[in-house]
Amino acid sequence: MPDQSDGIIPQYYEDVPLEDDYLIQVPEIAKLDDEWPQAESDAAIVAETAIHSRKRKMEGDVLIVGAGISGMQAALDIADKGYRVILIDKSSTIGGNMVKLDKTFPTNDCSICTSAPKMVEVSRHPNITLLTYAEIADLKGEAGNFTARVYRKSKYVDPDKCTGCDDCTPVCPVDVISVFDEKLAKRKAIYIEFPQAVPIVYTIDYEACVGCGSCERVCEPGAISFLEKSEDIEVKVGSVIVATGYELFEPVEMRREYGYGKYPNVITAMQFERLLSSFGPTEGKARRPSDGEKPESIAWIQCVGSRSKQLGWPYCSRVCCMYATKEASIQKETDPETDVSIFYMDLRAYGKDFQQYYDKAKDMGVEYIRARPSSVYENEDKSITIRYMDTHTREVKEKTVEMLVLSTAIIPSQENQRLAEVLGIDVDESGFFQVKSIMTDPIESTRDGVYLAGCDQGPKDIPDSVAMASGAAAKAISDIVDRDQAEAVEPPEQKDVTGEKPRIGVFVCHCGKNINGYLDCKEVADYIGEQPYVEYATDIMFACSEDTQKDIREKIEEEGLNRVIVAACSPITHGGLFQDTMVEAGLNKYLFEFANIRQHCSWVHSHDREEATQKAKDLVRMSANKSALLEPLEQEEVSVIPSVLIVGGGLSGMRAALALSDMKIKTYLLEKDPELGGMLRRLHTLFPSDVKASDIIDPLIKRVSESEFITVMTGSTLEDIEGFIGNFEATINTPGGEEKLEFGTAIIASGFGEIDLTGRYGYGDSEKIMTQTELEERIEAGTLEKPKTVVMVNCAGAMEPERPYCCRVGCGVSIKNAKMIKEMYPDSDVYILYRDIRVFGKDEEEYFTDVIEGKRVKIVRYTYEEQPEVAVDDDGNVMVTVHDSIYGDTLELPADLVVLTAQTEGNESVEGLMEMFKIPAGPGRYLIEAHAKIRPLDFATDGVYFCGSAHFPKNLADTIAQSEGAASRAAIPIMKGTLVLEGITANVLEEICSGCGLCVAACPFSAIDLESGKAIVNTALCKGCGVCTATCRAGAIQQKGFKDEQILSMIKGAMHEVY
């Protein structure tokens, strides 16, 4: 764990030469010996041992390199389909960069809270083999049949014995600068990166360890093993996903301009994230590195290392505008007095809800200054003065702040070149991994069978990475789909304990000294042994160790136990483990109960042994009371109809159908128009390349119509949907009459369109005024006459109270079409009137720069307050008047062609779909995902997924990645074949239910219906929250596992000794 006691390290610049990246160097594979060294029980031979390794072989279906959010998502998507994943990460924990963040935009969800459950799921998944501290060294073979070599460094800690108790770090004499904490804090030579690390196994930093053996002496389970070997593993798989992530630009080259590494109060945005993080060096408070004091003023400088060919990279880093906005608004929220400002060039709030988030930040008092500061200098009091030119007055100004945060760019990892050689794939001109084609294959690398996910191929935000990871999972599966799925291990038959008197077994865990050091475990065990129904009680050293698991199973058998309580750490981390033990012993897993006497007792009351012991007794007694009333719960199984319904036959619907077809899953592709193709049918070319839309769409239509797995239904609309995940039934209006279809899951790909601008910007008053799509139709048809002056008005109808969002694609479309006109008619004058140029990410910014520099397109910036006016006089002449907010003059542009980049909105069919599938939509009829960051393709309603512009407008590459991702999500239940439902569900006692309907209204999942005057729970939809139970006035609906009587027994147990 990072050492937080000293807080932030003030003079870390002096301690740490910035050139040194402090990463552990992997010993060269070439140095490996086949011979093992002679073992000596001396820590000093660590260095010697490190270069020797144990060889072994592994087999799986897919190898995933990198276990950040993308790698984890891809792993879960594949493993959930029944295929075996080998997931490797070079760090000692999984989680990647996301876990370092404090919160995530635009929902301000806590980052670790959303990623930690995924980390635990990955580590417990029976189809995932996790290899941390491991790197890939070689990849031979071809798609379907790869052989990789993975080198796994020794952690010198036995993962089976380490309990994560943290006894070792206080005794370690070595301080190491924590890379996880962005060099703002120290950790020890033996460490875990952060408290929620997975696996919770400590690692000895081989470079830093002095071999004193102090940790070995205090480690009670004897987990420290200086002889633990590194491993050289041969891995056979069918396909590979590369999700190795990114690095952040380290602005040392900008020492002169922005003072990073020179002035202590200049930090990077990731360092600021660590300061904001509740488990960071300052426990969540922004503090100046110079003196640890609260800064009264903070400024951010955007585009540090991005959008610059001279210092950094030419592309836009895509996430910085929003993360700076997030950090600034969190600071403003925590401390409204702080003076907070952001220096920016274009504020790229392009995504779903981003513009609203940005507007909110402005309302909170975050000041946005449009300037690229030229330099900064430090004052005597260590404050920082920023010099910049005011773009309105053209004056050079200065602003002094107490802390300066540099919004540094996402850049390709330094290891990409080496990795690319190992993997046999290409890198692009920036050093990111090269995709096969950004217009058709944005997930494929340049080697067949090797797929890319997340930021290793370009900057991306979390949901786009997650969607792409799911897409990569679909691709990886299609190479191995003919293999047998991993066989599920059949548990022993469950004993029927109904009607038996409760016989409770209690195991009180010492957790070494972690519990027993602060309270008396033996006393607790003796006490609880006297309680009613407790048949057996004992205290044990480590409840989670493999041998204790065996003990528990034996005691269940010997003592005839039918309920088990473990009093130890937390059910959140260890509940699943003991439930598995129950199942292995033939007991229903819901007959297990946890008493948390570590996190909730020994660790938080470590100064009063008596009090802590008393509290532990009470906690275990409460559990015992409930345990006596526990019942075995059944987990229903439902079979899944093996087909998918896709609503919408545009680009995204077709790409999803093809991805499913590659996984040999049957789909019905529903399209309301007489032909497939959707929006792309109306476009001429596609941004950010000039490829013709028809060259994209025609081959797709051909592939779709040739697939034996796809049934195309054009000219058809949905009439009704019934059922739930696994078993849906649709009524469809087809040209041939009404049809019924059965399917297991559904994908909504209903697309989007331009809003109607009639009556605004002169639209409808003149033939010369049209939208971008109409312009493209005209170019496609060859009917565009040569214009003398073209004026494009961006953000027409956008970011207004009624539709407060940015349309995400308009800037790109206008630049592409301006370029097209200039290429057709080089003499024409083309103006683009814009508010911010939001061409984000890789490729787009470069395309834009190229057009602006080379094509002589004139761009004019206007503000929301002073919108351009389009007037048509009696002779039909069109005049556009605009106030240039940069140069301050008002321009009058006589135009013979005005092109409006219209705001967009979701397809009108969405309203019906919302009703039928019980799915929500937000502003502009764009559908709302289950979670903005980590479940971007799912709805809260199980079995229904979505992709493409039904979610929000997006470019081709993002749409394809999302569509293939949605295909992966929709394929999971199908490939599982049967679904095991949650055992904790609501249950209605019919004889008491009066049919009042309160529970129906309260249920967040629409899982309850009234039938003949009684509430009926659909267990397939019920998630077991218990809101209905708390709502029922008669106690007629009970949450299994949390019944009123069970909770009341705990309340009594908390207050009284006697049962």
Partner 1 sequence: MADDAKNDFEPKILGFLCNWCSYTGADLAGTSRLQYPSNIRIIKVMCSGRVNPQFILKAFQEGADGVLVSGCHPGDCHYIKGNYHARRKLTLLHDLMDHMGIDPGRFQLSWVSASEGHKFAEVVTKFTEQVRELGPQTKMAGGGGQ
Please give the residue ranges that form the binding site for partner 1 (CB under 8 A).
107, 109-110, 112-113, 116, 195, 277-279, 283-284, 570-573, 596, 598-601, 603-608, 611-612, 614-615, 618-619, 622, 940, 984, 1002, 1004-1005, 1023-1027, 1029-1031, 1039, 1042, 1044, 1047-1048, 1050-1052, 1054-1056
**DSSP per position, 665-704:** -EEEEE-SSSSS-GGGGG-SB-TTS--BHHHHHHHHHHHH
Nearer CB in complex with partner 1: 168/585 = 168
Q: How near is the Cβ of 745 to partner 1 at its closest, in Å?
A: 21
**DSSP per position, 697-740:** HHHHHHHHHH-TTEEEETT-EEEEEEEETTEEEEEEEETTEEEE
Nearer CB in complex with partner 1: 44/1048 = 1048
Three-state DSSP state, 743: strand
Nearest residue to 1043 (alpha-carbon basis) of 575, 497, 630 = 630
Nearer CB in complex with partner 1: 279/451 = 279
Nearer CB in complex with partner 1: 548/625 = 625
Peptide bond preceding 442 in cis form (omega within 30 of 0)? no
Q: How near is the Cβ of 842 to partner 1 at its closest, in Å?
A: 32
Tokens of 756: 């109607």
Nearer CB in complex with partner 1: 156/917 = 917
Nearer CB in complex with partner 1: 672/1043 = 1043
Q: How near is the Cβ of 488 to partner 1 at its closest, in Å?
A: 26
Peptide bond preceding 688 in cis form (omega within 30 of 0)? yes
Residue 656 dihedral angles phi and psi, to the nearest 5°: -65, -45
Count of CB atoms within 10 A of residue 366's CB?
22
The region that residue 303 occupies, defined by phi over 0 for left and psi between -120 and 50 for alpha, beta otherwise, is left
Q: How far from 748 is each of 5, 700, 964, 969, CA to CA, in Å?
A: 51, 18, 13, 12
Q: How near is the Cβ of 598 to partner 1 at its closest, in Å?
A: 6
CB 110 within 8 A of CB 932: no
Residue 565 dihedral angles phi and psi, to the nearest 5°: -120, 130
Q: How near is the Cβ of 108 to partner 1 at its closest, in Å?
A: 9
The region that residue 1025 occupies, defined by phi over 0 for left and psi between -120 and 50 for alpha, beta otherwise, is alpha
Q: How near is the Cβ of 615 to partner 1 at its closest, in Å?
A: 5
Contacts of 628 (CB under 8 A, 6+ apart): 502, 504, 532, 533, 563, 1049
CB 697 within 8 A of CB 681: yes
Nearer CB in complex with partner 1: 377/1042 = 1042
Nearer CB in complex with partner 1: 60/517 = 517
Nearer CB in complex with partner 1: 195/764 = 195
**CA 565 – CA 560 distance, rounded (Å):** 14
Nearer CB in complex with partner 1: 601/746 = 601
Q: How near is the Cβ of 510 to partner 1 at its closest, in Å?
A: 16
Q: How near is the Cβ of 1040 to partner 1 at its closest, in Å?
A: 11
Q: How near is the Cβ of 541 to partner 1 at its closest, in Å?
A: 20
Report H helices in 867-932.
910-917
Nearer CB in complex with partner 1: 294/855 = 294
**DSSP per position, 247-304:** EE--GGGGHHHH-TTTSTTEEEHHHHHHHHSTTSTTTT----TTTSPPPSEEEEEEEE
**CA 126 – CA 78 distance, rounded (Å):** 12
Nearer CB in complex with partner 1: 955/1039 = 1039
Nearer CB in complex with partner 1: 263/592 = 592
Q: How near is the Cβ of 989 to partner 1 at its closest, in Å?
A: 16
Compute the C-alpha angle 204/207/213, nearest 5°: 45
Q: How near is the Cβ of 635 to partner 1 at its closest, in Å?
A: 16
Helix axes 844-855, 810-824, angle to 10 degrees: 40
Three-state DSSP state, 52: strand
Q: How near is the Cβ of 1023 to partner 1 at its closest, in Å?
A: 6
Tokens of 587: 């007991």
Q: How near is the Cβ of 889 to partner 1 at its closest, in Å?
A: 45
